[in-house]
Amino acid sequence: MNEKVIGIMGAMHEEINSVLELMSGIEEFSFGRRTYYAGTINGIKTVLVFSRWGKVAAATTVTSLITKFNITDLLFIGVSGAIDAKLKIGDIVVADRLIQHDMDARPLMPQYEIPLLGMSYFETDQQHLAIAQQAVEGMLKKGIGSFIAPVEIARFALDNPRLYTGVIASGDQFFASQQDKEQLYGALPETLCVEMEGAAVAQVCYEYDVPFAVIRIISDECNENSSIDFPDFIQHVSSRYAHQIIENVFTLL
């Protein structure tokens, strides 16, 4: 049996730095204009990297993780914007399926279908889905007040963050208007949140038979207020979420 090697991709540098705190025996490798950190977390071989933004960049990064660093499993963690109205800032979404909302090869094939694969959704396998859910649940049970300052909890109204499981949509578009949000929700009403990498990463993992989990922290509501305090949220909230969630994942593997 091949030795387990976990690949971790983060959507922000702050998230990468936070997860890096968990790693031991770190070596750095520069490849394809990216820096890969190889080491161990909880005794398990791990390779950590900043995904870069957008579907092509993220797909390139995960392909390198698979083909150069020989990962056996992939975890993606980062922020996203809420599409479903029930989601609030600070909630966490674990994807059970992912779709590329900007894929449209009509009339050659149905909207959202990936050319030559005959599928629109990429599903998270049950084992990694359960591990991700348990890791988030463990963090929420611990209480975010144990790792996030009270001033930040009040500032971002993180009173009762919740875990949701469902569809994440990805595309090369930053959603910053209510109109864009409503248009996506109308077209894909099962969508919980939207980001720019997850479904592309999921497609690469599917094609290489690498199991994966995608975990997203809600940072904004995909409207005209989407950019307000975003850098501070990344620094003071989502990076600490990432640290706690990944630490929990490695106790479950």
- Residue 157 belongs to domain with CATH number: 3.40.50.1580
Average of per-residue pLDDT across 142-152: 96
* From 85-94, 126-135, 176-185, 234-243, the region with the lowest mean pLDDT: 176-185
Average of per-residue pLDDT across 121-125: 98
Average of per-residue pLDDT across 50-63: 98
When pLDDT is cut at 50, 70 and 90, the band that residue 177 belongs to is confident
Angstrom CA distances, 36 to 120, 152, 203, 205, stand at 30, 31, 21, 18
Contact between 25 and 247 under an 8 Å Cβ cutoff? The reply is no
Which residue, chain included where needed, has tokens 């975003």? Answer: 230
User: In this predicted structure, what is the pLDDT of residue 25?
Assistant: 98
Contact between 83 and 192 under an 8 Å Cβ cutoff? The reply is yes
- Calculate the average pLDDT of the chain: 95
Q: What is the pTM of this model?
A: 0.96
Q: Which one has a higher pLDDT value, 223 or 149?
A: 149
pLDDT at 227 over 60: no
**Mind listing the pLDDT tens digit for each residue in 85-100?**
999 999 999 999 999 9
> Structural domain of residue 211, as residue ranges?
5-252
**Mind listing the pLDDT tens digit for each residue in 7-41?**
999 999 999 999 999 999 999 999 999 999 999 99
User: In this predicted structure, what is the pLDDT of residue 26?
Assistant: 98
Q: How far apart are CA 91 and CA 109, in angstroms?
A: 35
Contact between 35 and 50 under an 8 Å Cβ cutoff? The reply is yes
When pLDDT is cut at 50, 70 and 90, the band that residue 174 belongs to is confident
When pLDDT is cut at 50, 70 and 90, the band that residue 229 belongs to is confident
Total count of domains within the chain: 1
